[in-house]
Amino acid sequence: MRPAVFLDRDDTLIVNRAQTAHTSHPGDLFDPALVQLTPGAGAACRDLKAAGFALVVVTNQGAVARGECTVAQVEATNSRMREVLLGVSGVDLDGVYYCPYHPGGGIAPWNIEHAWRKPAPGMFLAAAKDLAIDLARSWMIGDAERDIAAAIAAGLPLAHTILLAEPSLVRGGHKAAGMSEAAATILAYAAR
């Protein structure tokens, strides 16, 4: 079994808020044409992959449950994200897991709570099973507390979590200004 770096998608691996600010659904990116990597993401992923980490995206996509987009649009956006990352860094993601469920949505069957919806650990557990990932040796990079909470619930050590951009309420995890700094933190620990 190998370790992974789990990555949130929006505003961690790809730019979301800035790309969707002028759309009819700010904060929900489901147009493949708007996919753009965050600064340093390509090089960070290349370096992490070269160090032996699997790269796995875990992302909530509640816009499906709210009727703002379809599963097909989310999948097309995820495919474009993979293409852009491959073109920039030469590496592909080992897996992309997304949760279209949201209990506040109005579109069945997606309008329920689900074990995959972060802060629940379902996506991490599924990826660990599918990809033979050692969760105890894995890391999480995300931009929201729910990313960190889901990782911890899945069995990742608190010290293997990195929160981007927002002040952290979590004690013991790391903070980073972006993907470059997050990757450098992980690689420094791996070199010990």
Task: Pick 122 or 177 by higher pLDDT.
Answer: 122
Q: With 90 as the cut, is the pLDDT of residue 175 above it?
A: no
Q: With 70 as the cut, is the pLDDT of residue 169 above it?
A: no
Q: With 70 as the cut, is the pLDDT of residue 171 above it?
A: no
Q: Please state the rounded mean pLDDT for residues 15-39.
A: 94
Give every CB contact of residue 75 below 8 A, 6+ residues apart in sequence.
none
Give every CB contact of residue 120 below 8 A, 6+ residues apart in sequence.
114, 150, 153
Active-site residue flag, 10:
yes
Name all domains of the chain by residue range, CATH numbers in brackets. 8-42+56-134+147-156 (3.40.50.1000)
Task: Pick 24 or 93 by higher pLDDT.
Answer: 93
Give every CB contact of residue 104 below 8 A, 6+ residues apart in sequence.
62, 65, 66, 111
pLDDT for 8 equals 98
Active-site residue flag, 28:
no
Amino acid at 191: A
pLDDT digit string (tens) for 53-103?
Answer: 999 999 999 999 999 999 999 999 999 999 999 999 999 999 999 999 999
Catalytic residue among 8, 28, 94, 143: 8
pLDDT for 45 equals 98
Question: Which pair of tokens denotes residue 37?
Answer: 């990597």
pLDDT for 24 equals 87
* CB burial string 40-51: b at 16+ within 10 A, e below: bbbebbbbbbee
Q: Distance (Å, rounded) from C-alpha 86 to C-alpha 192?
A: 29
